[in-house]
């Protein structure tokens, strides 16, 4: 038994590490071809990694990426592709920012105020993904299509609402517009890190909590079992008494609720308002991180940290004269090669396990029986 688990850990690492090495080689090749010495680039990234500011920013990015990845992974676990995390978190962040910043919230006790903001964001995210779930179970609309379209609708909805005539106001001293800033009682204080002016998001702990809950629900509860079973074989799940429709609705709602959290660390920890420059595209990064981390709670954490570091190292590359786009190339190659690598490893694992079973059951003995 131990043999199986040691090997499965090793096999689990082979694919992502292999993909990273492959991506690094591809990037080195591209750098060399474009006349940028690869070693200097590594050097620049290593220097960046030692700067406290890069570390803090990487961790902060990773916090958001991780939440987005968990949101995506909940769907992935049952072969449901929630491409709409992006729209869900932007709409959720915008509406909850408007709520948290509203004047009547100033009198609410800080803890309750933060909790209300977070719950509101989860509800908005769930409602937006719930639309896709509803379309899927009642009309059979593919959630891929509907969530992509809902992303676009969310974009327009946000720009409609983010208007001084509605939920926004002009940011003093700039052309930016945003929701009314959240006053101090509604913010989540950051954590100081020596040597860095930026602070670690206080809601980094929320991400950890979400990861733990995700792990617990998936591996320890009946609901998680039914979710996984549906993902592995819908027909077998149906025959086993799992209502696939119910699972679709629940997993989409949960995915959307977690998606609603994606914007929270930034909103409550740093920008305190949803304005035009609120970070977009986190939902799509979440897809990449979930793929790289294999939907595994720890795997996705590592992947999110890596992604966060690469993003923040890109700034350092710019300074040292290496085109920062090399990071995008690297991220792209990682995602593509990791998908291929996982499939190869999966096939190998199935074969290896069959071989083990064959060996453990003593094929040779059967053949002796034949000749006897």
Partner 1 sequence: MSTESAAGGDPAPAVELSGITKRFPGVVANSDVDITVRAGTVHALVGENGAGKSTLMKILYGMQRPDDGTIAVAGEPVSFASPADAIRAGIGMVHQHFMLADNLTVLENVVLGSEPRAGVRLDFAAARARVREISDAYGLGVEPDRLVDDLGVGERQRVEILKVLYRGARTLILDEPTAVLVPQEVDELFGNLRDLKAEGLTILFISHKLDEVLAVADDITVMRRGTTVASVSPREVTARKLAELMVGSALPVPELRESTVTDRPVLAASGLTVTSADGRKVLDDVSFTIHAGEVLGIAGVEGNGQAELVEALMGIRVPSAGSVHLAGADITRLSTKRRREAGMGYIPEDRHRQGVLLEASLWENRVLGHQTRKPNARGPLLDRRGAKADTQRIVEQYDVRTPGIDVHAAALSGGNQQKLIVGREMSGNPVVLIAAHPTRGVDVGAQAAIWEHIRRARAERLAVLLISADLDELIGMSDTLAVILRGRLVADHDPSTVTPEQLGSAMTGAGRES
The residues binding partner 1 (CB under 8 A) are 1, 4-5, 219-226, 228-229, 232-233, 235-236, 238-243, 350-351, 353-358, 360-361, 363, 366-367, 369-370
Rounded Cα–Cα distance for residues 124 and 147 (Å): 14
CB 94 within 8 A of CB 161: yes
Rounded Cα–Cα distance for residues 251 and 254 (Å): 5
Rounded Cα–Cα distance for residues 115 and 121 (Å): 10
Nearer CB in complex with partner 1: 34/233: 233
Nearest approach, Cβ of 232 to partner 1 (angstroms)?
Answer: 4
Nearer CB in complex with partner 1: 29/367: 367
Coil, strand, or helix at residue 274? coil
Nearest approach, Cβ of 7 to partner 1 (angstroms)?
Answer: 12
Nearer CB in complex with partner 1: 228/324: 228
CB 315 within 8 A of CB 358: no
Nearer CB in complex with partner 1: 243/320: 243
Nearest approach, Cβ of 250 to partner 1 (angstroms)?
Answer: 13
Distance of CA 197 to the CA centre of its chain: 26
Nearer CB in complex with partner 1: 281/358: 358
Nearest approach, Cβ of 242 to partner 1 (angstroms)?
Answer: 7
Nearer CB in complex with partner 1: 7/324: 7
Task: Count how many residues are written for the chain.
Answer: 372
Nearest approach, Cβ of 4 to partner 1 (angstroms)?
Answer: 6
Nearest approach, Cβ of 370 to partner 1 (angstroms)?
Answer: 5
DSSP codes joined into one string, 294-356: TT-HHHHHHHHHHHHHHHHHHHHHHHTTS-THHHHHHHHHHHHHHHHHHHHHHHHHHHHHHHH
Coil, strand, or helix at residue 259? helix
Coil, strand, or helix at residue 102? coil
Place of tokens 């570091």: 309
Nearest approach, Cβ of 340 to partner 1 (angstroms)?
Answer: 18
Nearer CB in complex with partner 1: 170/354: 354
Nearer CB in complex with partner 1: 170/240: 240
Nearer CB in complex with partner 1: 166/359: 359
Nearest approach, Cβ of 349 to partner 1 (angstroms)?
Answer: 8
Cα–Cα distances (Å) from 336 to 16, 18, 22, 191, 288, in that order, read 11, 12, 11, 36, 9
Neighbouring residues of 150: CB distance < 8 A, sequence distance ≥ 6: 84, 87, 88, 128, 131, 132
Cα–Cα distances (Å) from 51 to 58, 178, 306, 324, in that order, read 11, 32, 16, 18
Nearest approach, Cβ of 369 to partner 1 (angstroms)?
Answer: 7
């Amino acid at each position: 038994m131990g043999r199986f688990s040691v090997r499965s850990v090793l096999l689990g690492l082979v694919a992502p590490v292999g993909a990273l090495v492959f991506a690094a080689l591809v990037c080195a090749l591209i750098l060399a071809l474009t006349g940028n010495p690869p070693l200097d680039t590594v050097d620049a990234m290593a220097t960046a990694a030692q700067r406290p500011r890069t570390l803090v920013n990487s961790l902060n990015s990773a916090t958001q990426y991780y939440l987005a990845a968990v949101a995506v992974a909940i769907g992935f676990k049952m072969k449901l592709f929630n491409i709409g995390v992006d729209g869900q978190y932007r709409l959720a962040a915008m509406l909850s920012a408007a709520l948290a910043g509203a004047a009547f919230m100033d009198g609410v006790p800080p803890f309750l105020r933060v909790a209300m903001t977070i719950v509101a964001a989860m509800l908005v995210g769930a409602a937006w993904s719930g639309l896709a779930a509803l379309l899927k179970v009642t009309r059979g609309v593919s959630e891929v299509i509907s969530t992509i379209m809902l992303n676009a609708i969310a974009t327009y909805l946000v720009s409609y609402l983010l208007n001084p005539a509605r939920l926004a106001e002009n940011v003093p001293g700039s052309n930016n517009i945003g929701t009314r800033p959240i006053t101090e009682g509604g913010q989540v204080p950051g954590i100081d890190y020596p040597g860095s002016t930026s602070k670690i998001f206080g809601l980094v702990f929320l991400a950890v909590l979400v990861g733990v809950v995700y792990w617990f629900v998936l591996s320890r509860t009946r609901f998680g079992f039914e979710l996984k079973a549906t993902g592995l074989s819908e027909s077998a799940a149906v025959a086993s008494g799992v209502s696939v429709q119910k699972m679709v609705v629940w997993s989409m709602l949960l995915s959307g609720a977690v998606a609603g959290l994606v914007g929270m660390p930034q909103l409550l920890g740093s920008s305190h308002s949803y304005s035009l420059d609120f970070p977009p595209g986190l939902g799509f990064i979440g897809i990449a991180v979930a793929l790289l981390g294999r939907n595994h709670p720890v795997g996705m954490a590592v992947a999110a940290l890596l992604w966060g570091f690469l993003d923040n190292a890109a700034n350092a590359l710019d300074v040292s004269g290496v085109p920062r786009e090399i990071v995008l190339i690297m991220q792209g190659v990682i995602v593509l090669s990791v998908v291929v690598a996982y499939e190869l490893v999966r096939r190998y694992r199935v074969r290896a396990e069959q071989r083990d079973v064959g060996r453990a059951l003593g094929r040779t003995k059967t053949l002796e029986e034949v000749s006897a």
